[in-house]
């Protein structure tokens, strides 16, 4: 079962299509190539939220839909929840 979608091959996050529980091996699908991938969820990822597909360090950009959507403000490990606690817009 597909649990998250990745919109572009350059994306560093996927979007949960169901609630993902910590400890699960979550199945993802690249929308552009239809290739599948798996990520071990380190935290709960609510429906519609982002899961990290790679480690990110502070000041890295997060890529979603092939675009930089913000700046990392706290380290993020592959499989962690990416949201307002560790990602901020570049506008402010």
Burial class (CB in 10 A: 0-12, 13-18, 19+), 60: middle
Mean pLDDT by 10 residues, the chain (92 residues): 96 98 98 96 98 98 96 98 94 71
Q: Could you give the strand order of the β-sheet that contains 67-72, starting from the edge strand earlier in sequence?
A: 61-64, 67-72, 87-88
Residue from 74, 77, 14 nearest 48 by CA: 14
What CA–CA distance (Å, rounded) separates 86 from 71? 8
pTM value is 0.94
pLDDT for position 90: 81
Q: Are 70 and 88 a contacting pair, CB within 8 Å?
A: yes
| Domain that includes residue 19, residue range | 4-88
How many domains are there within the chain? 1
- In tens, the pLDDT along 61-80 reads 999 999 999 999 999 999 99
CATH number of the structural domain spanning residue 41: 2.30.130.110
Residue 29's DSSP bridge partners are: 5, 36
């Amino acid at each position: 079962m597909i649990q998250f979608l990745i919109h572009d091959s350059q994306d560093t996050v996927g979007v949960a299509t169901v609630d993902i529980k910590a400890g699960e091996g979550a199945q993802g699908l690249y929308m552009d190539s239809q290739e599948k991938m798996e990520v071990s969820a380190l935290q709960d990822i609510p429906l519609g939220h982002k899961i990290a597909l790679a480690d990110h360090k502070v000041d890295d950009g997060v890529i979603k839909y092939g675009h930089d959507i913000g700046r990392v403000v706290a380290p993020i490990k592959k499989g962690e929840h990416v949201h307002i606690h560790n990602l901020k817009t570049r506008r402010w």
